[in-house]
Amino acid sequence: MTHGIALGSNLGDRAANLRRGLDLLRERVSITKMMTAPVYETAPVDCAPGTQAFLNTVVEIEADIAPHDLHGHLKAIETALGRPEVHERNSPRTLDLDILYSGGLCIDDDTLTIPHPRLHLRRFVLQPLADIRPGLVLPGFTQTISELLSALDDAPDSVRVRSEI
């Protein structure tokens, strides 16, 4: 199954946090294919004043794993890299991992919502996703990722290419 995963970091060595998160993902999950978007430096969204900028990217993996099992691995990786299990929403983080989509599934339960409920509103997710899957149409949507990105009304310069990871 194809899974899209967003990665973000704004504490410590942000690029190293992203790389380590991907290394741990490869160790925990049997991935048969991975596409990685460029890394973007992005202004914090809905965070406290003075919050450091984020490094964000998206990867798409092919792996024979159920979304809830993948979610468990992602939470364990966040914890391993120092993110407290209990944290305030939009608080600074060494690593944030979110499942954006899992094949054509729609899930909405106490643990997981797929597709991610706010991905269509966030340039820091849509821009890297458009780099690897511009024509993707997610379940419940009628527009492609590129079209969703074009429809945003925030400033495109709020995300700047930083590097590859």
Using a pLDDT cut of 90, give the percent of the chain over it.
Answer: 78
- Give the three-state DSSP class for 74: helix
pTM of the model: 0.92
Residue corresponding to tokens 């925990």: 28
Distance CA 142, CA 148 (A): 9
Using a pLDDT cut of 70, give the percent of the chain over it.
Answer: 91
According to DSSP, the residues that pair with 114 across neighbouring strands are 107
Domains recognised in the chain with CATH numbers: 2-163 (3.30.70.560)
Please report which confidence band the pLDDT of residue 164 belongs to, taking 50, 70 and 90 as the band edges.
low
* Average pLDDT of the segment spanning 1-7: 98
Three-class SS of 102-129: ECCCCEECCCCEECCCCHHHCHHHHHHH
pLDDT of 63-93, one tens digit each? 999 999 999 999 999 999 987 666 565 567 8
Extract the tokens encoding 138: 């997610």
- Give the three-state DSSP class for 36: strand
* Average pLDDT of the segment spanning 117-146: 96
CB of 34 closer than 8 Å to CB of 156: no
Which pLDDT score, from 0 to 100, does residue 42 have?
A: 86
Q: Where are the alpha helices (DSSP H) in the chain?
A: 14-28, 67-80, 123-132, 145-151
Distance CA 17, CA 95 (A): 6
For residue 97, pLDDT beyond 90: yes
